Amino acid sequence: MYKTTLKIDGMICGMCESHINDTIRKAAPVKKVTSSHAKGEAVVLTDEPLDIEAVRAAVHATGYEVTEASSEPYEKKKFSLFKK
């Protein structure tokens, strides 16, 4: 899996977050996407590397701007009730 963090300019409220999440889901096959207007970012989890340019274009078409993007391999943390 991959974790991509997108810095997004223009989000000011919860509805903006929802709009960004929907836009990213339509632009790419994602496992999970969460956005924060307070942080000015969206975090996207995908099975394959994210096509950042396709997402950037989709986000731009909705009136927001992706100003930065970084991607890294991601491994889901395993939860255990027992300490080792």
- Asked if 65 contacts 59 with a C-beta cutoff of 8 angstroms, the reply is yes
pLDDT band at 77 (very low <50, low <70, confident <90, very high): confident
User: Can you give the residue range of the structural domain that contains 45?
Assistant: 2-73
Residue 47 lies in a domain: yes
pLDDT band at 6 (very low <50, low <70, confident <90, very high): very high
3-state secondary structure of 49: coil
CA distances from 8 to 43, 79, 83 (A): 10, 31, 39
Residue 80 lies in a domain: no
pLDDT above 90 (res 2): yes
Q: What is the CATH number of the domain that holds 14?
A: 3.30.70.100
Count of structural domains within the chain: 1
Residue 81 lies in a domain: no
Residue 84 lies in a domain: no
Q: What tokens appear for 77 in the block? A: 């943390």
The amino acid that residue 65 corresponds to is E
